[in-house]
Structures are given as structure tokens and as C-alpha cells.
Amino acid sequence: SDLFIHCLPDPHQKHDHNNHQSTQSIALSPIQTNPADNPDPCDGLEMDAVALNEEGVPYFFKGDYVFKGFGGQAKMINKSFPEVDNHHQMDHIDAAFRMHHDDDPTHNNIFFILDDMVYSYYQYKLEEGYPKNISEVFPGIPDHLDAAVECPKPECDEHSVIFFKGHDSYHFNVKTKAVEKKKFESMPNCTSAFRFMEHYYCFHGHMFSKFDPKTGEVHGKQPKDVRDYFMRCSSNNHTERERCSRVHLDAVTSDQAGHMYAFRGHYFLQKDKDGVLKADTIEHAFKELHSDVEAVFSHDDHLYMIKDDNVFAYTVGENHTLLDGYPKPLKEELGIEGHIDAAFVCEDHQHVHIIKGGNHSGTASPRAATGKGKLLLLSKVNAAMCGPEGLKVIVGNNYYRYNSTMLFVAGRALPEQHRVSQELFGCDH
């Protein structure tokens, strides 16, 4: 593959727009106050506890049941964690969380708290000596908790577990066992708490609010319905299908506000700066394109989308409006012809980088290529984007992360491989 660097054009017309992305509300069934023997999370249940398992699959607990994954069916808790069911008068789990260990990153425990007792499981086996009284495992933490969530560094100043009871939160330092009590004034009382893809969510009823684990501040349009984002309900099946699809992306980019857009076939995924994911058809949001975007990059609060031999420029906001004068021929806009594999803009914001297979080269035009480099290690690239974490280059179902474009072009070894569906979109399988 070849890499071409082009000067970015200025849009011919400015538009007023709002950086906050829309999240369509979905009408769902009323909350089920008396769930049946086999409860359905899409009925609007209030979960007792939420935690990731050792493989990163979210477990949702309600009464005697656990839902494994975003679309899991109700299973009895005692089939996976039999000792918890033996707890006297156990009708629900108060709190649950996964804990990793700095000295052994492969050792992840799942902790359950019931009344004043703590259960610790490793690989679905109760660890020796458990259950223990909460005062022995987490001294200074009250019993009969509402929720708990792990908070590793640097997301918290020190590796901590945050425990919630009523209006109070207790920050337990894992290393020193010191406890700091705080009041998160802007947060609702959490019935469960959840860390997912480095974001923190307070569940209350069938709603959730994303919060800052250090300050408890809640930002943006909160709360949101759990069923729209964390449950595989019939009303949001597009999102779950696209989240976990093994088909490679056609194009991907992130804008200055921190929102990510990923395109595949007739659909696109939009992940907002809070980590919330929604899917829609390309035709609905970008009606002039219909489907099959070849490449996309963002610049100056606009999305530039390449299809066939044309460039389409859209505003970023509640609605995506095509800028006046677009689409424009690819050759006129970027000084290049032929199919493009990927495009991205990095921190300098002055050049667009084009990845193109075969032996194509930039054509002469006022916006001709300013530089060209041969990729040494990757013969095929499906999509790429730059962001705060560097350059992410997508090849098939995986992506590679580079600290700079230079390392991507001239590097002699591939960096660690990451799975697109799980690490970019939070697929649970």
C-alpha cells in the first residue's frame, strides 16, 4: 500500500452546528414491577448488581438470576456461583465487581457482597477462606451496600474500589486500605455500578448516568435508558449486530468533540464521547451517500466522506447537512484518482493522509500530494483514524495502534493487535 499526504481544503461555506450528537429515544415497554419466573431485562428491570467476568463479559444480576452478556437469557446464579446461593436469606446480591491485581495481571477476581459477607471467585471457584466478613476484606466499608465498582489508576488517583450506600461513596485504596468518604452530590443513588471500556456508569432503576469516578460529576444528557445501550432488545438490534460484526469496517473517523463514526455496508456506528454506541443506516443520516463509504476523515468540524470518485462534506451536529458545492470530484478536491483504502487527519490538522493500494500515484492539481511513502509491513488497510490515543489502523477484524504516522509508515515491527468488535465497540463475545 502507498501513503499519500495532501493539503486539506477549506470548506466554501461555514454552517452553524452543535457538536453534541443526537441519541434517538426508543419507545420501550413499561417497567415490569413483578417479573415472571424467567425475567426479561428488556422489560425494564432494576438490576441488583453488574460486573465484568474474568474475560470481560458483562454479568447483570437480578434476584436469583444472572444475564451473561448484553443479550443473555436468564440463568440461575447458583449454576455458576453455587456458594452465593447458600447465603442465609439470600434474595439478591447487594454489589459485585471485578478486581484485577497489579502484581499478577492475569488474576482477576469477581467479588460479591451480600449483607455483611464477601465472596471472592477466581475462575468460577470460591477462593479459600471465603466467604469473609466485609470488615476483614474491606475494613472501614459499611455492610448492606447498594453498589460497588473497581477504579484502577489513572482513572482514579490510586487503585481503588468505590462503594456506594445511599448518598455516600466510600473510596477504598486497594494498596493501603485507607478509606475516603465522599458525597457525589450530582449523582443519583446507584442500585448498581459498572466500569465498561474505561467509562463509569451508575445504574438507578432502568436508567443509567455516566459519571466521573473522581468527582461524581454527571455530564451531558443524562440519564439514559439501560435498554437502549446495554441490552440486546428488538428495538436496538441494528446496534448489537453492527457492534459484534466480524465483517471489516469500510471507513472510520473521530471528530474534534470525541465522537467516533464507523461505516460498514449500509450502516454506520456512532460512539459519542461518553462511550455510548448507536447504529443507524447511512441513508438515514447521510442521504446523498446511501451506502458503501470508501474512506472518511474529519477536519474543521466537518466530515469528508469519499465514495467512488467524489468527496462529500457534511456538518457535524444533530443533523448531518451536505455542504454547498458538494459532492466534488476526488481529483479536484484531493488531487488523486482511483479507489482509496483509507484516509485520516492527525494532530497537525493541515494534511490529509491517504492510503491507497496498487501503484496509483497523486495527480497534478492545486491540491496535489505533498509527500508519499511506501508502507513496509501492511499490504492492505481497510480503515484508519487519528485521535488522542494515536493512530489506529484497521486490518480485517483487528487494529494496530501507533504513536505517530512516521512509525506507521516506517516501523519495522507490528504493534500489539487489538480486536475491533471488543475493544472499539465493546462487544461481549
Tens of pLDDT, residue by residue over 399-414, are 999 998 888 887 888 9
Q: Output phi, psi for 407, to 5 deg.
A: -65, -35
Overall average pLDDT of the 74-81 stretch: 88
Average pLDDT over all residues of the chain: 82
Query: For residue 139, how many other CB atoms are within 10 A of its CB?
Result: 12
Which residue matches cell numbers 466537518?
Answer: 302
Give me the pLDDT at residue 20, please. Answer: 37
Percent of the chain exceeding pLDDT 70 equals 82
Residue 367 has pLDDT above 60, yes or no: no
pTM across the whole model: 0.57
Three cell numbers written together for 93: 446480591
Give me the pLDDT at residue 284, please. Answer: 86
Overall average pLDDT of the 95-119 stretch: 85
Is 240 within 8 Å of 259 (Cβ atoms)? no
In 67-97, which positions are buried (b, 16+ CB within 10 angstroms) versus exposed (e)?
A: bbbbbbebeebeebbeebeeeeebeebbbbb
Q: Output phi, psi for 238, to 5 deg.
A: -60, -45
Give me the pLDDT at residue 260, please. Answer: 92
Is 121 within 8 Å of 112 (Cβ atoms)? yes
pLDDT digits 0-9 by tens, 310-340: 999 999 877 889 999 999 999 888 888 888 8
Q: Output phi, psi for 82, to 5 deg.
A: -65, -35
| 3-class state of residue 43 by DSSP | helix
Which runs of consecutive H residues, i.e. helices, occur in 272-327? 282-285
Looking at this protein, which amino acid is placed at residue 121? Y
Give me the pLDDT at residue 275, please. Answer: 77
Identify the weakest region by mean pLDDT among 26-35, 148-157, 306-315, 318-327.
26-35
86 vs 147, residue with greater confidence? 147
Q: Give the up-direction half-sphere exposure of residue 195: CA atoms within 13 A in the CB hemisphere.
A: 21
Residue 18 has pLDDT above 80, yes or no: no
Per-residue confidence at 34, pLDDT binned at 50, 70, 90? Answer: very low
pLDDT digits 0-9 by tens, 227-272: 877 877 765 567 777 888 888 899 999 988 888 999 998 889 998 8
Give me the pLDDT at residue 299, please. Answer: 87
Residue 30 has pLDDT above 80, yes or no: no
Chain centroid to Cα 2, Å, comes to 31
Is 257 within 8 Å of 19 (Cβ atoms)? yes
The backbone region for 148, taken as left when phi is positive above 0, alpha when psi lies in -120 to 50, beta otherwise, is: beta
Three cell numbers written together for 11: 470548506
Give me the pLDDT at residue 88, please. Answer: 54
| 113 to 50, 51, 177, 193, 205: CA distances (angstroms) | 12, 12, 17, 13, 19
Per-residue confidence at 13, pLDDT binned at 50, 70, 90? Answer: very low
Give me the pLDDT at residue 36, please. Answer: 45
Which runs of consecutive H residues, i.e. helices, occur in 286-429? 330-334, 405-410
pLDDT digits 0-9 by tens, 125-139: 999 999 999 999 999
Please state, in angstroms and rounded to a whole number, the distance separating the CA atoms of residues 53 and 394.
27
pLDDT digits 0-9 by tens, 164-183: 999 899 999 999 999 999 98
User: Residues 283-292: contacts with CB within 8 Å, 24+ apart?
Assistant: 285/320, 286/312, 286/314, 286/320, 286/322, 288/312, 288/322, 288/327, 290/266, 291/265, 291/266, 292/250, 292/265, 292/266
Is 159 within 8 Å of 193 (Cβ atoms)? no
Give me the pLDDT at residue 8, please. Answer: 60
Give me the pLDDT at residue 95, please. Answer: 96
Three cell numbers written together for 291: 451506502
Please state, in angstroms and rounded to a whole number, the distance separating the CA atoms of residues 59 and 71.
10
Give me the pLDDT at residue 29, please. Answer: 36
Please state, in angstroms and rounded to a whole number, the distance separating the CA atoms of residues 203 and 367.
51
Three cell numbers written together for 369: 500530494
